[in-house]
Amino acid sequence: MPKLLDTKASVKPFLKWAGGKTQLLGAIETKIVPFFKARGQVNYLEPFIGSGAVLFFLLRNYKQYIKQAVISDINPDLINLYKIIRDQPLALIEQLSALAETYFSYPTDIERKEYFYRIRAEFNQIQPDAVRKSALLLFLNKTCFNGLYRVNAKGQFNVPFGRYKKPNICNQEVILADSEALQHTEILLGDFTLTEPFLEENSLVYLDPPYKPLSSTASFNTYAKEGFYDEDQIRLKTYCDTIQATGAYFVLSNSDTATSPADISFFDSLYQEYTVNRVKAKRAINANGQARGEISELLISNDAVWQVPVI
């Protein structure tokens, strides 16, 4: 595989992703780094991988502490893309470059929009070619509205055209750097509980489930037709109890459903025996433009399992 002059700097998410954790990296780093220093090399587990903002941040800055990485997600197209990035980056780049070349050959937005919808229709068909499917997904991700991944009840991608002047459809440098970074990463398709066999005392688990909606209109970005509901949040809490019992450390992010400091939110109650920190993040996407801006989100962790200072 070709080596880059600065692969470390290029290790970053290859996807645009609504709800990505770039905004929270500083707070997450504050929680995680003392654990690395106390335990040395650890197994890093990340179900709900999404764009992998936390994974790639750690691989870029703290790779020496990660003995093995295990990631999973219930989205088959996303997991297929991670595997292709890891195992067949050059084949992916070839197909993605061809898609980008065709897209930019059209001089008008109307023609590019028509091409986008042709590619979206192809993506929603059964696609036996895993590399082609991944190239189509990356193309759509870079050219659709706000980088959303949203599906309808049939599981079909239905995000509209994004109207970007010059989207970076094929970022060869990032694809190659991420491929190299992922070489020793186990990639699993399925429910978050699939990572349980990899749990041991020296494990760090970062959990970023679909956030509990703050309103009836907030769940616009469903990326799996199965959805993720309150019973799933409760099931996830049971998994966190398993992590705690193993002696491993977890950090979980979610929405802050409390509307005032005096409120006891769904998560304050559910995770009452654990540490619940509130952190500020900017909301980039909301159906109501006035609701965009800085909001409170939660970082929940079992700090007491290894006596880290609370931030």
Of 145, 173, 201, the one marking the end of a domain is 173
How many Cβ atoms sit within 10 Å of the Cβ of residue 211? Answer: 19
Of 112, 139, 173, the one marking the end of a domain is 173
Say which residues have a Cβ less than 8 Å from residue 71's Cβ, sequence separation at least 6.
45, 46, 47, 49, 52, 55, 82, 185, 186, 187, 188
At 276, is the secondary structure helix, strand, or coil? strand
CATH of residue 129? 1.10.1020.10
Task: Indicate if 167 and 258 belong to the same structural domain.
Answer: no
Task: Indicate if 100 and 42 belong to the same structural domain.
Answer: no
13 is a domain residue: no
Say which residues have a Cβ less than 8 Å from residue 193's Cβ, sequence separation at least 6.
239
Which of 44, 48, 37, 78 has its CA nearest to residue 58? 44
17 annotated as belonging to a binding site for a ligand: yes
38 is a domain residue: yes
Tell me the average pLDDT of the chain.
89
* CA–CA gap between residue 160 and residue 144 (Å, rounded): 6
For residue 66, the cross-strand partners are: 42
208 annotated as belonging to a binding site for a ligand: yes
Number of separate domains in the chain: 2
306 annotated as belonging to a binding site for a ligand: no
21 annotated as belonging to a binding site for a ligand: yes
* CA–CA gap between residue 44 and residue 304 (Å, rounded): 19
**pLDDT, tens digit (0-9, with 9 covering 90-100), for 72-82:** 999 999 999 99
**pLDDT, tens digit (0-9, with 9 covering 90-100), for 149-161:** 998 888 899 999 9
pTM equals: 0.90
Q: Which domain holds residue 33?
A: 24-74+190-301
184 is a domain residue: no
Residue 277 has pLDDT above 50, yes or no: yes
